[in-house]
Amino acid sequence: MLKIDLSGKNALVTGASQGIGRAIAGKLAQAGARVAGHHFSHAIDGVDHPGGSRVQPFQADLSSPQQAKQLFHSVVESFGHIDILVNNAGLAIDSPLDLDDERWLNDWQYILNVNLTACGILCREAVRHFQGRGGGRIINIASRAAFRGDIAAYLAYASSKGGVVALTRSLARAFGKDNIQSFVIAPGFTRTKMAQQFIDIHGEDLVLKDIALSRLTEPEDIAPTVAFLASGLADHATGCTIDINAASYVH
């Protein structure tokens, strides 16, 4: 059995208080990493978190570019350095086209700020930090929606995740000679609070008809792949996208 050892590594995981981010932070910590677990409104309890005391909480509102940048520097100040960045934080808002102009545009901008702009800021800070340390790894959580699109009420979400994919591939091409690798994980429907909100609005049948396997993907189904990419065992896959969506979409 392949054993992932991240002993001595420091990682920053955004959106680490629940869902996919919580599972990722826990898996990295269990593999030996010291993890900075970003949260916005759901505080991280080290006793109850799967990563235990190896996950240290850091609060930031990623809709603010200033707070996104400060988050990275706060972790560096506390930990000394960062080896692994996992951009997982994201949101989806049901925003149909028939909303009034102001509300639709506010939804659009808020989603892009959190899902794409903050990701870009953190990647920029990470690249500059990694260049001074001889390398590092970036793992960005996108979505199948980046490739197959989404329903009309989620145009901003799909667009933001498409941007994450392009950003990640560009980083891989631009900074590989600096020993900086970047990867995309593209989940499908995963049993999270965000997915449940979609199900509550649009119905469970819309989800289940797309799933090839017998159960919905869980956050714990995604976390091991992130740990594998973080380990350095797949560095020559830099720039790749790994689909984890129970064959609901294969590109």
CA gap 231, 86 in Å, rounded: 13
Strand partners, 71: none
Annotation says 249 is catalytic? no
The Cα 83–Cα 9 span in angstroms is 6
Q: Are 34 and 11 in contact (CB under 8 A)?
A: yes
Rounded CA separation 211/199 (Å)? 14
Q: Which listed residue (110, 154, 157, 249) is catalytic? A: 157
CA 17, chain centre distance (Å): 12
DSSP 8-state class, residue 141:
E
- Which of 153, 84, 150 has the alpha carbon at shortest distance from 123? 84
Write out the catalytic residue numbers: 157
